[in-house]
A = this chain, B = another copy of it.
Amino acid sequence: MTVLVFIDSDFPAGRIADANQPQLFATDLGATRGDGIFESLLAVENKPKKIQAHLDRLASSATLLELEIPTAEQWRAAIDTALAEFDQPEAVVKLLVTRGVEGAKQATAWVQVSPLPALGKQQRERGLTVILLDRGYDSEVALRAPWLLLGAKTLSYAVNMAALRYAQQHGADDVIFTSADGRVLEGPTSSVLIAKVSEENGSQLKRLITPQLDSGILPGTTQGALFAAAQRAGWQLGYGPLEPKHLYEADAAWLISSVRLLAPINSIDGQQIGEDTQRAELTAELSAILASTE
């Protein structure tokens, strides 16, 4: 079952639409040009998680694409309507905006609520087999070439989907993109995290590191929430630059995202990452920290 709620000025709480009927015009620039933006988030007990972080990132994507999008109030009302209609303990909530029907100069915006895919939980529990794939861009291009829309979460995800298919055909579950200048970037639908654990003056020092955010990657809302909470729990934080060798030398590494949450990486390009027991312990510790966030 999928619930759709369109944002429509005639319906202050959003307009519920039948997902089993066509709802988009064939000339919508979302469908013909991938010209739009989106967010995916988790809802628990009809309450969206990290809603403000997602609305903020949606607004930032909209700025990069020069799209006028609905207000935060309109989104919140439509999300509430959709979640009340769906009414399940857990749900995936997607916010989508396209540039609208060709020539109409009016964005199409809707909320989609659907069940959690079973695969996410499985991958979180058994861990991921990952391969590194070249993203083609160098890590500085985002700053000099805003038209490449790096840092915007656009509907033009064909390359992300192709990278995941390529991984599956090569016996892997997921991908970490690297830049042309050899930096670790992000997954096609996730952020990259590593942990380094060391002893210093007899006490344990735990450090959580993610690639630097100005390298043309999407700022991860779940990475952001975990970082804030982990710091409160005594972890040190670091922001790249990361190279593949840092992944191989890590005590644990994860792909983190809003719906699959913290998924441990068992191996990258066939090389085991960290040690099984420590990886499981660190995953349990950080998952508990993440679960404590809003």
In the complex, the chain B residue whose C-beta lies closest to that of A110 is B26
Q: Which residues of chain B come closer than 8 Å to A134, judged between CB atoms?
A: 141, 144-145, 148
Contacts A65-B162, A165-B66 hold; do A17 and B26 have CB atoms under 8 A apart? yes
Q: Which residues of chain B come closer than 8 Å to A202, judged between CB atoms?
A: none
**A289 part of interface (Cβ distance < 8 Å):** no
Scan A22-35; emit 1 where CB is below 8 A from any B CB, else 0: 11111111111111
Can you show 22 pairs from A to B with CB atoms below 8 A apart?
A19-B27, A22-B25, A23-B25, A24-B28, A27-B114, A28-B31, A32-B94, A33-B160, A34-B156, A34-B157, A34-B158, A133-B145, A137-B180, A141-B180, A146-B162, A146-B166, A147-B159, A147-B165, A148-B159, A148-B162, A149-B162, A152-B158
Task: Report the bound CA distance from A58 to B2 in whole Å.
Answer: 32
Min CB gap A87→B, angstroms: 19
Scan A240-276; emit 1 where CB is below 8 A from any B CB, else 0: 0000000000000000000000000000000000000
Task: Report the bound CA distance from A94 to B32 in whole Å.
Answer: 10
Q: Which residues of chain B come closer than 8 Å to A17, judged between CB atoms?
A: 26
Task: Report the bound CA distance from A34 to B65 in whole Å.
Answer: 15
**A112 part of interface (Cβ distance < 8 Å):** yes
A157 touches B33 (CB 8 A): yes
Instruction: Knowing that A19-B27, A35-B158 touch, tell me 7 more A-B residue pairs with CB under 8 angstroms.
Output: A22-B24, A23-B24, A26-B112, A34-B158, A133-B147, A136-B137, A154-B158
